[in-house]
Copies of this chain bind each other. A is one copy, B any other.
Amino acid sequence: MFKELLALRDKIDEVDQSILSLIIKRLALVAEVGEVKSKYGIPIYDPQREADMLAKRRQEAKEQGISPVLMEDILRRLMRESYISENDKGFKKVYSGQGSIVIVGGNGQMGRLFARLFTLSGYQVKTLGSKTMHQAAEVVTDAAAVIMTVPINKTCEIIKQLPPLPKDCILTDLTSIKAKPLQEMLDKHQGPVVGLHPMFGPDVPNLAKQIIVYCQGRDPAKYQWLIEQMRIWGANLCAIDAKEHDKCMSFIQALRHFTSFSYGVNLQREQADLEKLIVLSSPIYRLELMMIGRLFAQDPELYADIIMASDDNIELIKRYYNCFGKMVEVIEERDKAKFVDNFNEVSKWFGNYAKHFIKESQALLKLANDNRE
């Protein structure tokens, strides 16, 4: 019995080794692509090429009788790695002038990420921190862009402290709220102004497909090069009105983080048996426990500031609290019909997204299960 099995396993090991060498070959080719792209300033993320290529491979997989989804999953995983190695080759510098990039708060994680990307694109990057702010006036004299990336609750005050900037210098920020800082920057600087919000953490391997929101301030023509530069890094730039952005962020950040926070506080106060919960987890519950637990490995100050950043946030959270209370009444009264009515209303509101999310989450839940030991 074991002979049969071991013989087959040896063959599988051989196949896996050949797969490994093909992966190495592919990454080498991709690195060459990266050089060509950086030479000609082509964005590292090319949606059309990616779609065409995946369609072809899916078709070939079908024809040869294997799951097209399997082939696509594996290629997408390879492409993620590819973006990293394309990254290493550096990027084309879009800005034709001589000025440097000044990052205020450049020692923070997000500041370091942007400093690295600008450096990889051939810019001279200078950083200002709390200890070096007194040299700001001299540091910004040749600035092509000044990027604010300081704690959300200090942003406006530090913008006020900025020295006068060169006439055509871009003033921008990476804060997760946009209306207030944008106004502050417009008051401070008469030149080009744009508000940015990177919708990702500083730990991303690269910017391929990552979303960066930008809010129009002043002189779009003069900050266009900065937008283009970020596109070349692979980012997906989305323009939106600052107030609308902030309204969405009350949901995406304040309400969501506060909910996870309270959920965690409750688990702890209930002294839930975490080990047992994890052992008994379905893939989906493990995922949800993960989303809550991960919050508490991060900086409490940051989350306090994001949640308390505006009265609108707190009002939204209070309305959620009330809505939650009404639903608690429904189940206290064991009012199944009313529960179902509410449920169906929400289903209608989610429309096709509900079904779509089921399908999309399948892939994630399967991965969560793959990675189980």
The verdict on A225 contacting chain B, using a C-beta distance below 8 Å, is no
The verdict on A221 contacting chain B, using a C-beta distance below 8 Å, is no
The verdict on A137 contacting chain B, using a C-beta distance below 8 Å, is no
Report the nearest B residue to A73, measured CB to CB.
Answer: B77
Please determine whether A1 and B294 come into contact, CB atoms closer than 8 angstroms. no
Q: What are 25 A-B pairs with beta-carbon distances under 8 A?
A: A13-B56, A16-B53, A19-B22, A20-B64, A20-B71, A70-B77, A70-B78, A80-B369, A251-B272, A252-B282, A261-B342, A261-B346, A268-B345, A269-B323, A270-B316, A274-B353, A287-B287, A293-B357, A297-B350, A297-B354, A297-B357, A303-B343, A305-B336, A321-B324, A321-B328
Interface string of A182-209 (1 = CB under 8 A from B): 0000000000000000011101110001
The verdict on A55 contacting chain B, using a C-beta distance below 8 Å, is no
Q: Take A29-B8, A285-B256 as given contacts and tell me if A368 and B362 are in contact as well, using a CB distance cutoff of 8 Å.
A: no
- Please give the number of chain A residues whose Cβ is less than 8 angstroms from any Cβ of chain B in the complex: 161
Please determine whether A296 and B71 come into contact, CB atoms closer than 8 angstroms. no
Report the nearest B residue to A345, measured CB to CB.
Answer: B268
Please determine whether B288 and A23 come into contact, CB atoms closer than 8 angstroms. no
Please determine whether B343 and A331 come into contact, CB atoms closer than 8 angstroms. no
Report the nearest B residue to A34, measured CB to CB.
Answer: B8
Of the listed stretches A94-102, A111-119, A154-162, A240-248, chain B binds A240-248
The verdict on A179 contacting chain B, using a C-beta distance below 8 Å, is no
Neighbouring B residues of A210 by C-beta, 8 Å: 369
Q: A317 to B293, alpha carbons, bound, how many Å?
A: 19
Q: A3 to B76, alpha carbons, bound, how many Å?
A: 25
The verdict on A79 contacting chain B, using a C-beta distance below 8 Å, is yes
Neighbouring B residues of A281 by C-beta, 8 Å: 199, 211, 252
Please determine whether A290 and B360 come into contact, CB atoms closer than 8 angstroms. yes
Please determine whether B301 and A340 come into contact, CB atoms closer than 8 angstroms. yes
Please determine whether B300 and A265 come into contact, CB atoms closer than 8 angstroms. no
How far is the CB of A354 from the nearest CB of chain B, in Å? 4
